[in-house]
Chains A and B, each alone.
Chain A
Amino acid sequence: MTKRYLVRRAGQAIVVLVLIACINFLVLNLAPGDLVDVLAGESGVGDLAYLQALREQYGLDQPLYVQLVKYLLNLVQLNLGYSFRFNLPVRDLILMRLPATLLLMFTSLGIAFLGGVAFGVAAARAPRSIRDSVISTLAMLAYSTPLFWAGLMLIILFSVKIELLPSGGMQTINGPNDPYSVVVDIARHLVLPSLTLALFYMATYTRLMRASMLDTYSMDFVRTAKAKGLTPLGIAYRHVVPNSILPLISLFGVQLGSVLGGAVVVEVVFGWPGLGTLAFDALFQRDINLLMGILFLSSVLVIVVNFAIDLLYGWLDPRIEVEA
């Protein structure tokens, strides 16, 4: 892992970020009607001179490339604009909602990872057995289930039929407020949404873990382990699992963007107060600025995490020469 490689990767990441910002700008400008049209439509102002003055004030009368440069300069300072609906800067709104989404996402990914490894190992240790085909079929089923629908079904089962878990929100209103009960309360609210979101990704991890383990089983060092008389269990856990887990970590980075998207519908289903419900509100109040801000910051998150995973990868497996 050379310094030159790091600089190069960071440079590529910045190019990607700038291009994403340009796409955002393009979409904003292709949208029918500008900000002033929206404001005018709402307040019922029809005075053309006044509208022109507003356009000048917001810089909308300037050539597109000037607007683009301004937009990019604003983004560099993390100034994502102002949400006129919530009366707050977009950045503050997003930062307020981000922790809830991160909590949901990482809990789900944790569940998905552990569950996926466990099921993958169980399937790969006896390929083509009944256990393997049951696990593979269930994984396929989970893979084909719309997240939001799985959430609704879990609500019917666990909150309507057996009234075990809360069906929505993040905390009980007017619940106890000592730290311990708050944590328990949030954890109880977290169970259903995180399980819902985990379901799909657990299926992908299961399939990948199974395939990766079957690959590893065919390698020479496993044959050596067998030859020296290790038990099948010892071979699986000491030799095969540790050598099969690496692809799952790179899948984690690839999937992050998709998990963010999945979090949107899951949050809407469970009323989880994160970025997803914020995006949903922005959508229905046609707050395109806020929506774009969420999209941009999510992309930044994906880039940063993938960069971190790249570094982690080289550290976990020094055999991998990171090619510059």
Chain B
Amino acid sequence: MIARASFLERYYLSRTGVVGLIILMLVIVMAVFGPILYPVDPWEMVARPLQWPSLGSENPLGSDVLGRDVLSGLVNGARVSLIIGISATAAAVTIGVTIGALAGYFRGFIDDVLMRITEVFQTIPNFLFVIVLVAVFRPSVFTISTAIAVVSWPAVARLVRGQFLTLRQRAFVESCVVIGMSTPRIIFTQILPNCMAPVIVTSSIMIATAILIEAGLSFLGLGDPNVMSWGAMIGFGRQSLRTAWYLTLIPGVAIQLTVLSISFVGEALNDALNPRL
């Protein structure tokens, strides 16, 4: 209980962390309840094309070239961004923790092989690799999340391996070995919980990066064709950039605010979880 209270206290020391958390909560609420509270189909033509945003009108954020509602696109896009950001990160963390833990615990030959593989995935230019994977396996929320996970796990693997290498030498782990605790139990109940703090911080940054990658993909026309996403909205809006730049501005600000808030939360978590800094 004491540890928990001091963690929250340390978190609230960061002003940007609190601001980030508030914005992030708003985005999450928008993603979860938005499509229910504002049930306009983002693909349907509901207004005259290219209406500028005006409060109080039927389409508060205006309409695009095809008369589709911008606010509806924004609300539905929040869902897609968060789903892809979270699922890609969850998958990447699972792969990364597994490989990092195996390499760091067993060392030697296993470590060499796993680290060589990690190096390979770190060398291939990330975004290009994602483009190739999504293009080859056809874009969908699943393939996009998987492709992002495939390129993002090495950072976690290296981090976890480093933690395991040092923690394995510590007395509390050696005493577990001495009392005959099984290897999986040592890994899962002793070492892993002790290296979760940096993993949590890294994952928050990975969610932000995943959202940026997804935006880039759907901007290039490689998004899931069945869902409206922020990047795709910018891609559509780009054609009327000179006359109707609000179509590009609005979803871009949404991406920026979301990513910024996640980064702020990540930074505050880092300060709160590593009090020595």
Contact = CB atoms under 8 A, between A and B. Distances in A.
A186 interface: no
Interface string A131-147: 00000010011011111
Interface string A63-99: 0000000000000000000000000000000000000
A291 B220 contact: no
Contact of A27 (B16, B132, B138, B231): B132
Interface in A139-198: 140-141, 143-149, 152-153, 155-156, 160
Interface in A253-312: 256-258, 260-262, 264-265, 268-269, 279-280, 283-284, 286, 288, 291-292, 294-295, 298-299, 302-303, 306
B269 to A, nearest CB: 15
A27 B133 contact: yes
Given A31-B137, A279-B128, A283-B222, A160 B256 contact: no
Interface string B198-218: 000000000010001001100
Given A257-B123, A265-B220, A299-B124, A152 B241 contact: yes
B107 interface: no
A148 B133 contact: no
A241 B248 CA distance: 40
Contacts of A30: 136-137
Contacts of B222: 283
Most A C-beta atoms less than 10 A away, residue of B16, B129, B259: B129
A145 B256 contact: yes
Most A C-beta atoms less than 10 A away, residue of B123, B135, B220: B123
A111 interface: no
A141 B124 CA distance: 27
A141 B260 contact: yes
A53 interface: no
Contacts of A145: 252, 256, 259
A30 B133 CA distance: 10
Nearest to A254: B122
Tier of interface size on chain A: 35 or more
Given A20-B120, A146-B255, A160-B241, A264 B135 contact: no
B127 A261 contact: yes
A149 B234 contact: yes
A23 interface: yes
A283 B220 contact: yes
B29 interface: no
A145 B208 CA distance: 10
Contact of A148 (B137, B234, B263): B234
Given A15-B116, A23-B124, A279-B131, A160 B245 contact: yes
Given A141-B260, A144-B259, A148-B219, A264 B128 contact: yes
Contact of A284 (B117, B221, B234, B249): B221
A294 B267 CA distance: 36
A149 B255 contact: yes
Interface of chain A, main secondary structure: helix
B125 A298 contact: yes
Most A C-beta atoms less than 10 A away, residue of B124, B212, B238: B124
A292 B231 contact: no
A288 B234 CA distance: 26
B242 interface: yes
B174 interface: no
Contact of B127 (A20, A155, A258, A291): A258
Nearest to A306: B123
A45 interface: no
A151 B256 CA distance: 14
Contacts of B259: 144-146
A103 interface: no
Contacts of B138: 32
B123 A16 contact: yes
B126 interface: yes
Interface in A2-31: 12, 15-16, 19-20, 23, 27-28, 30-31
A192 to B, nearest CB: 13
Nearest to A136: B16
Given A156-B245, A265-B216, A295 B125 contact: yes
In the A-B complex, list the 4 residue pairs whose CB atoms are closest, starting with the nearest.
Answer: A261-B127, A257-B125, A149-B252, A144-B259
Interface of B: 16, 116-117, 119-120, 122-133, 135-138, 208, 212, 215-216, 219-222, 231, 234, 238, 241-242, 245, 248-249, 252, 255-256, 259-260, 263-264, 267
8 contacts: A15-B116, A141-B260, A146-B231, A153-B249, A261-B127, A269-B238, A279-B128, A295-B129
